[in-house]
Amino acid sequence: MSTHTSHFGGQRRIQGLIRLVRLLALVGGAAQLLLPLLFWSQPEWVARVAHQEWGSGAANLQLDAGARLAGLAASALPALVGAWAMWQVWCLFGCYARGELLALAPVRHLHRLGLALVGLALAMPLGQTLALLALTLGNPPGERQLALTLSSEHYLCLLFGLMLLAIAAVMREAVRVADENAEFI
pLDDT at position 16? 95
| pLDDT score, position 147 | 82
Alpha-carbon distance 94 to 101, whole Å?
Answer: 11
Residue 3 has a pLDDT of 39
Q: Average per-residue pLDDT in the chain? A: 91
Residue 121, pLDDT above cutoff 70? yes
Contact between 124 and 78 under an 8 Å Cβ cutoff? The reply is yes
Q: Smallest Cα–Cα separation from 46: which of 140, 144, 132? A: 132
pLDDT reading at 79 higher than 90: yes
Q: What is the mean pLDDT of residues 7-24?
A: 87
| More confident of the two residues 82 and 54 | 82
b vs e for 165-182, b when ≥16 Cβ sit within 10 Å of the residue's Cβ?
beebeebeeebeeeeeee
Mean pLDDT of 115-129: 97
Question: What number of CA atoms fall less than 13 Å from residue 151's CA on the CB side?
Answer: 13
If phi > 0 it is left, if psi is from -120 to 50 it is alpha, else beta; for residue 142 that is left
Question: Which of 64-68, 78-82, 108-112, 143-147 has the lowest average pLDDT?
Answer: 143-147
Contact assessment for residue 18 and residue 97, using Cβ atoms and an 8 Å cutoff: yes
Cα 110 to chain centroid, rounded: 13
Q: What percent of the chain has pLDDT over 90?
A: 75
What SS3 state is found at 43? Answer: helix
Instruction: Give me the mean pLDDT over the 118-145 stretch.
Output: 93
